[in-house]
Amino acid sequence: MTRAELIQQIYSKKSFLCVGLDTDPNKIPSFLLEFEDPIFEFNKQIIDATSAYAVAYKPNIAFYESLGSKGWDALEKTIAYIPKDIFTIADAKRGDIGNTSSMYAKAFFEHYDFDSITINPYMGEDSVVPFLAFKDKWAILLALTSNMGSRDFQYHKDKEEYLYEKVVKKSFDWGNEENIMFVTGATHASELASIRNLAPKSFFLVPGVGAQGGDMHEVMKYAANDEIGVLINSARAIIYASKGEDFADAAAKEAKKMRDEMARYF
């Protein structure tokens, strides 16, 4: 998907909602376990319920690969089921040297046909550039993450520059706002301003709103640009809004609530 197509989708729906498909067989409604593929059935119903409000879906790959071949099958069916005009993110956090990165890129961009993949850039150019060789595909680089351990390394300062700022600046030697995005956690809202200054036109993928305590309005205060420029991810608050047979309806209500809150920014 191109940048223009993504922006068109955002303005058409007045939404910048990304639904995280962190599907755990231990958390889905128990009646779904009777289906041949419970994970796909859960995802299918969530997608049907939320696709009017979401501009992106983000399966967390760990939840699928932990189930072995059945998990990978469910992932493949899920990606095929998502409407083609909705942006897809493989939350895989891959990061390795050139040949290995090329194979990861081929797997997620060619075999599974994701639009984008999250990348750990801390091995440098080798771990990013192979993903940029694919037309209309995106690398989403970890810049400033929402977890507590982000302060262990990302806030290391050298010559008045934090490591996360150096990652953002260096990435523009490899790509641009047409093929690179940044993961910027909602729990560090005030720091988003410095990243926006370094990357004025880039999209930010922002986890941490909702269950992790991040605030949408704080995020938009510091991170939004003239084209919105933000995808806010919500997983648990939407997909596990109910554990009963009404789980899809509950997910739809939560997604609509978030979309309605987002509409005020248009």
Q: Which residues are catalytic?
A: 93
With beta carbons less than 8 A apart as the criterion, state whether 92 and 141 touch. Answer: no
CB atoms within 10 A of CB 104: 19
Pick from 119, 192, 120: which is nearest to 162 by CA? Answer: 192
For residue 120, give the nearest of 138, 93, 99, 139 by alpha carbon.
Answer: 93
CA-based nearest residue to 163, from 198, 214, 126: 198
Residue 219: both structure tokens together: 């995020």
3-state SS, residue 66: coil
CB–CB of 111/158 below 8 Å? no
Q: Is 119 helix (H, G, I), strand (E, B) or coil?
A: strand
